[in-house]
Amino acid sequence: MKFCSLTQKDLHAWALSQGLKPYLSKQVFSWVYDKHLFDMSKMSNIKKEERSLLQQTFSLPSLQLVKEIRSEETIKFLWQLEDGHKVESVLIFSGERRTLCISSQVGCRARCAFCASGKKGFFRHLTSYEIVEQALLVNQLLQKTQSRISHIVFMGMGEPLENIDAVLFAIKQFCCPTAFGISPRRITVSTVGIVENMRRLAEENGKVHLVLSLHAPNQHVRKKIIPYARKYPLEDVLEAADLYAAATKRDITYEYILIDGLNAEEEHAKELCQLLQKKQCTVNLIPYNPVDGVRFKRPSAKKIDAFMRILQRAGVPVTRRYTKGAEIAAACGQLAYHEDAPLNLR
Q: ∠ CA 180-185-188 to the nearest 5 degrees?
A: 85
Which long-range contacts does 12-20 make (Cβ < 8 Å, 24+ apart)? Answer: 14/57, 18/53, 20/50, 20/53
DSSP 116: S
What are the residues facing 189 on neighbouring strands? 154, 210
Identified catalytic residue from 88, 130, 162, 255 = 88
88 flagged as catalytic: yes
Using alpha carbons, select from 152, 219, 218, 220 the residue that is nearest to residue 180. 152
Distance of CA 261 to the CA centre of its chain: 29
Q: Which residues contact 25 (CB under 8 A, 6 or more apart)?
A: 8, 9, 11, 12, 14, 15
Question: From CA 64, how far away is CA 81, in angstroms rounded?
Answer: 7
List alpha helices for 186-300, DSSP H: 195-204, 219-225, 234-248, 266-276
The catalytically annotated residue of 4, 108, 273, 332 is 332
Rg (CA), the chain: 21
CB atoms within 10 A of CB 119: 15
Q: Is 332 a catalytic residue?
A: yes
As annotated, the active-site residues are 88, 332
